[in-house]
């Protein structure tokens, strides 16, 4: 069977790796990125480069977006030159960005009005997982649409979990990332106490990652700290954005995420100190808050 034609919108840290996976598996691919420089390597690899999201989506059977935030998603989908204006009836639209539930439901409604199928399908994983096709897709939408997306999910990810109706994938991603953010912020504060007590950082971190606290995030942050590697696999400011979306989602449901709010404050302090474009593990560089006696 011939493979469906795919359009990919957004070729950043995650989107670039995902789009390369599609090319490597011989999907007919059209790409769009606001910065056209990022599109050039895809042209040499055989992808068609579109000048607008509308042009990119025209004629595609599947359109996938992976962009930074709600505003960027609105920018690629809506308007005269947006992907929705070019999307064919019954095409499958997949939003894989980490976005707010409010916007996802609005986008799903606009897709339905165009006669298109829609999935919210954010992912877990970072840059190396995207490049290796080892992402986990958390999907909201109807079963038939999930089945139609299987060919692309299978080459970009190691697993797909259908969580329920539209918005389910987005909610789960916000839960996932606020828990990750809380853990990363806790290591930031732990290092402040370790340093203040003149403990050996290396030995202290080895105890933490080798014991009960040693989750995947704690290990990843500790490894980055030990290597002094700030190259972004996932930018610190995007983790802060995701936590702010989770807080808004919880507030809409009359729930207070107190640990998420405290962790977000640590991330915002790191951003104010100039670490926003570094890997999220650079939250450990945030200045400690001193107690008032």
| Residues designated catalytic | 173
267 near 245, Cβ under 8 Å? Answer: no
Backbone phi, then psi, for 73, in 5-degree steps? -65, -45
3-state helix, strand, coil in the chain (%, to 5): 55, 15, 30
What is the spatial distance between Cα 115 and Cα 271, in angstroms, rounded to a whole number? Answer: 41
What is the spatial distance between Cα 112 and Cα 119, in angstroms, rounded to a whole number? Answer: 11
174 near 98, Cβ under 8 Å? Answer: yes
> If DSSP codes are grouped into helix, strand and coil, which group holds residue 22?
helix
Strand partners, 279: 235
DSSP class of residue 249 equals H
Q: What single string gives the DSSP state of each residue in 100-113?
A: -HHHHHHHHHHHHH
């Amino acid at each position: 069977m011939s493979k469906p034609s795919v359009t990919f919108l957004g070729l950043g840290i995650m989107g670039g790796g995902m789009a390369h996976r599609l090319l490597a598996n011989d999907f007919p691919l059209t790409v769009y990125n606001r910065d056209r420089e990022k599109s050039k390597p895809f042209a040499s690899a055989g992808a068609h480069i579109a000048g607008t999201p509308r042009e990119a989506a025209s004629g595609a059977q599947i359109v996938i977006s992976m962009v930074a935030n709600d505003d960027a998603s609105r920018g690629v989908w809506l308007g005269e030159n947006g992907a929705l204006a070019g999307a064919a009836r019954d095409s499958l639209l997949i939003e894989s960005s980490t976005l707010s539930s409010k916007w996802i439901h609005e986008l799903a409604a606009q897709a339905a009005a165009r006669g298109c199928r829609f999935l919210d399908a954010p992912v877990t994983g970072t840059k190396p997982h995207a490049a290796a096709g080892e992402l986990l897709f958390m999907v909201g939408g109807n079963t038939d649409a999930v089945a139609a997306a299987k060919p692309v999910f299978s080459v970009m990810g190691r697993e797909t979990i259908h969580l329920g109706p539209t918005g389910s994938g987005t909610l789960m991603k916000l839960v996932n990332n606020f828990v990750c953010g809380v853990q990363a912020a806790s290591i930031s504060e732990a290092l402040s106490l370790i340093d203040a007590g003149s403990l050996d950082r290396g030995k202290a971190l080895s105890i933490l990652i080798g014991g009960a606290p040693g989750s995947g995030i704690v290990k990843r942050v500790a490894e980055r700290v030990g290597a002094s590697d700030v190259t972004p696999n996932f930018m610190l400011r995007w983790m802060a954005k995701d936590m702010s979306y989770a807080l808004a989602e919880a507030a809409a449901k009359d729930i207070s995420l107190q640990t998420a709010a405290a962790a977000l404050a640590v991330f915002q302090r790191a951003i104010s100190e100039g670490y926003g474009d570094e890997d999220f593990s650079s939250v450990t560089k945030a200045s400690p808050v001193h107690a008032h006696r």
